[in-house]
Amino acid sequence: MTENRTYSIEGMTCDHCAQSLAEALRAVPGVKTAEVSFKQRRAKIEAEAGVDDERVFDAANANGFRASLAAGSGAKGTRSDEMNFDLVVIGSGGAAVAAALEASGLGASVAVVERGTIGGTCVNVGCVPSKTLIRAAESLHRAQSTPFQGISVRGGLINYKEVLEQKDELVGNLRQAKYIDILDATPGISLVKGEGAFVARGKLRVGNRVLRSDRFVIATGSSPSVPPIPGLSDSGFLTSTELMDLKELPAELLVLGGRYVALELAQAFSRLGSRVTIIQRSNHILPTEDDDLTEALSGYLSEEGIDVITGALTTAVQRNDAGYQLKVTVQGRSKTFSGSHLFAATGRRPNTAALHLDTVGVAIASDGTITVGDHLETSVPGIFAAGDVIGNPAFVYTAAYEGRVAARNALNGTREARDYKALPWVVFTDPQVAGVGLDERTAAEAGIAVDVATLPLSALPRALAARDTRGFIKLIKERGGERLLGARILAPEAGDIIMEPALAIRHGISVDDLVGTFHPYLTQAEGIRLAAQSFNKDVSELSCCA
C-alpha cells in the first residue's frame, strides 16, 4: 500500500536544485517516486505506508534544503481531530521553545507546531554551524602564522570533509539535547509535526488536525531573501546554509553583502583556503557603524588577502561552465568579478507565507514582518509573535527573550513591554566587533552631546604580550557627566569584553566606578578600565602595572 504526500521546500534557487532534491528523495527507503517543482517550491512523493516524514526532512536537509509537511498534504494518518490547547506555538526555534517552556512553567497545555527540522535557524543552519566553522578556520590560521620569533608553524587543512562531519555532529547533538529532548521531557508540551495554516480565529490546521486555542505565538523564523539583481535568481547562488554544507571548498568565492553573516563566513572560508571577494553596495562594510571601526576591520580583512569592494552596485549575474561573472558598478566604473561560487548574504525574509495570516487579519509591515506592539501582540487579540518574524533585533537571545514575554502576556493577560536597553551584539570576525548602546553617529542623530574615549589596543598590556594589537576600545558617555551611553570594541574576543559596558549601562554604573573597580592585570577586560581612564588622562603616561 502506498500513499501520496506533498512537502513545502525552502532553499531552492533554480531548476537544478529541484532535480537534485528529487534524486535525493527517490533514494529515501520506501519512496517510490518523487517530483520536485522549483516554481511551486513543492515536492510530491509516492511512498510506502509508514515511511517516516523525518526521513524526507533529513534527506532534504542533507542536500541544503528544508522540507516541511504542506497543509492538507495527505500525509500519514487520516484523522480530522480537533485538539484544544491553552497556547499554540508555531515554530520550534529559539523564540518558540522559550515560549513553550515558559508556558509549561505556568501550568499551560502547549502545542508546538513544526513543519520541518526541529530547532529553527540557530542550531541547525545559523549560529552553531557557522561559529564552529569560524573557530576551525581560526585554528588553521593560528597554525599557519605566529607573531613570535623563534617559532615555526606549518599547519594545513588535511581533510575538509572531517571538519564538516564534526560540525554536523555538533549540530545534531545540540539539536537533540537542547530542543528535542527538552520538549519531550517537559510536562504539558505536545509536538505536532506539519505545516500550520490559520483557518479561522482560534483555529490552526496542521495536516488533518485542527488545533484550537484562544492564544497563539507565531515564531516561524526567517529565510534568506533574494535581492532583485538581474540573473541572480536563475544563477543557482548559495545561501549561508548551502555554503556551509558544500562538500568541497570553493576555489573562488564571491560574497554579496557586507554585514554580519557575509563577513563572518567570508573570513572563515578565506582562512580555510578559498580566494574570497566581498562585494558590498554601501560605501562601508557594516554600514550602520562609524567609519573608524568599519575602515579598520576592512583593513584587517584585506591584510589576510580578502578583496573588500565597497560602493559596489551589482547590475547583473551570469553563470557558465567556468563559474559566475558579476557585472558591478564601482564608484561609477563598470567592472566584472569572477568566481567559482557565489554566496548571497543580502538579508532575510520572515517565514509567514504559508500561515494564511490574512484569514484572521494579522497585519504585516511592508517588509513582510509581522506587526506587533511593545507587548508583542499582533493586530489580532490573542495572537502574539516573537523572533525573526517581527524583525530586528534578529538575534537568537532576543528571540528567546521575546518568546518568554509573549507567552507570559498571552497566558497571564499582562502587558509586559519588551525592553532592549543595553542590548549587546557581536560580529564573529577576527578581530571581533562588539557593541552596546549608542555610538557617535546614533548619538548625534538623537541630538545627544557626548564625550568619547578611544583606547588603541597598542596601549593594552594584554595585547602587547599577545603581540596582537589589532583594534580599539571606544566608550561613549554623556557630555560632562559620568553616565555611560555606549561602547564599541574591535578586538579579539570583543564579544566577551562588551558585557562590562552592557552591565554598566543597564545598571547605571558610572565611568568613575569602572575606573575604581579591580581589573586583573594582563586581561582584555582591563581595557575597559583603561578606556574609562582615557576620558581624563593620557594612559600612555601611566605605569602599566601600578
Contact (Cβ atoms closer than 8 angstroms) between residue 346 and residue 257: yes
Residue % of the chain over a pLDDT of 70: 97
With a cut of 90, say whether residue 390 has pLDDT above it: yes
Contact (Cβ atoms closer than 8 angstroms) between residue 252 and residue 338: yes
This prediction's pTM:
0.85
Give the pLDDT score at 70. Answer: 62
How many angstroms separate the CA atoms of 273 and 144, rounded?
A: 12
Question: 162 falls in which pLDDT band (50, 70, 90)?
Answer: very high
202 and 121 fall within a common domain:
yes
248 and 297 fall within a common domain:
yes
With a cut of 60, say whether residue 226 has pLDDT above it: yes
Q: Where among 304, 325, 345 does a domain terminate?
A: 345
115 and 215 fall within a common domain:
yes
How many angstroms separate the CA atoms of 308 and 285, rounded?
A: 8
Q: Which residues of 140-166 are buried (b: 16+ CB within 10 A; e: fewer)?
A: bbeeeeeeeeeeeeeeebeeeeebbee
Give the pLDDT score at 74. Answer: 41
Q: How many domains does the structure of the chain reveal?
A: 4
Residue 546 forms part of a structural domain = no
DSSP 8-state symbol, 357: G
Residue type, 36: V
3 state DSSP class of 279 = strand
Average pLDDT, the chain: 93
With a cut of 80, say whether residue 76 has pLDDT above it: no
How many angstroms separate the CA atoms of 6 and 19, rounded?
A: 16
Task: Return the CATH number at 89.
Answer: 3.50.50.60
335 and 397 fall within a common domain:
no
Q: Which residues of 288-313 are buried (b: 16+ CB within 10 A; e: fewer)?
A: ebbeebbebbbebbeeeebbbbbebe
Three-state SS across 94-122? HHHHHHHHHHHHCCCCEEEEECCCCCHHH
What digits encode the pLDDT tens for the residues 263-310?
999 999 999 999 999 999 999 999 999 999 999 999 999 999 999 999
Contact (Cβ atoms closer than 8 angstroms) between residue 464 and residue 540: no
395 and 296 fall within a common domain:
no
Residue 76 forms part of a structural domain = no
Q: Which three cell numbers stand for residue 456?
A: 588603541
Its domain, for residue 317, covers 232-345
What digits encode the pLDDT tens for the residues 16-48?
788 889 999 999 999 999 999 877 778 889 888
Residue 460 forms part of a structural domain = yes
Give the pLDDT score at 206. Answer: 95
